[in-house]
Amino acid sequence: MSREALRDFLRAVEHHQGLRRDAAQCSDDDELLALARRHGFNVIQRDLCDDARESAITSWFETSRIQRSFQSKPAQSNSSQSTPPQPTTPQPTAPQSPKT
């Protein structure tokens, strides 16, 4: 629940100039948390840590080459792509006469 409070607090800071000014004057996390509580947001230190960790992970995935493997490939209109390939069986061949 408090992570939602952190999101709500950050949204409020974005939309209210006075609150944004007060937040900018905070010199550390404790002052920022106290400001949030004064305005009715139940935010705790762990929320700030979790948010920082989540942001770091998101940033890593946005810049990593590994992200491409998690993206789905666009569908192709080729009909052979929509049905699985059928195994091929060798076709019998006519006996060949020996060449002399």
Domain that holds residue 56: 2-68
What pLDDT shows up at residue 16?
92
The pair of three-digit structure tokens given for residue 60, joined into one six-digit string = 């890593």
The pair of three-digit structure tokens given for residue 16, joined into one six-digit string = 């209210």
Residue 6: inside a domain, yes or no? yes
Residue 90: inside a domain, yes or no? no
List per-residue pLDDT tens for the chain, 100 residues long.
467 888 899 899 999 999 999 999 999 989 999 999 999 999 888 888 887 788 788 788 788 777 555 655 655 555 555 555 555 555 555 556 556 5
Q: How many domains does the chain have?
A: 1
Q: What is the pTM of this model?
A: 0.53
> If we measure between CA atoms, which residue out of 38, 40, 51, 49 comes closest to residue 7?
51
What pLDDT shows up at residue 21?
95
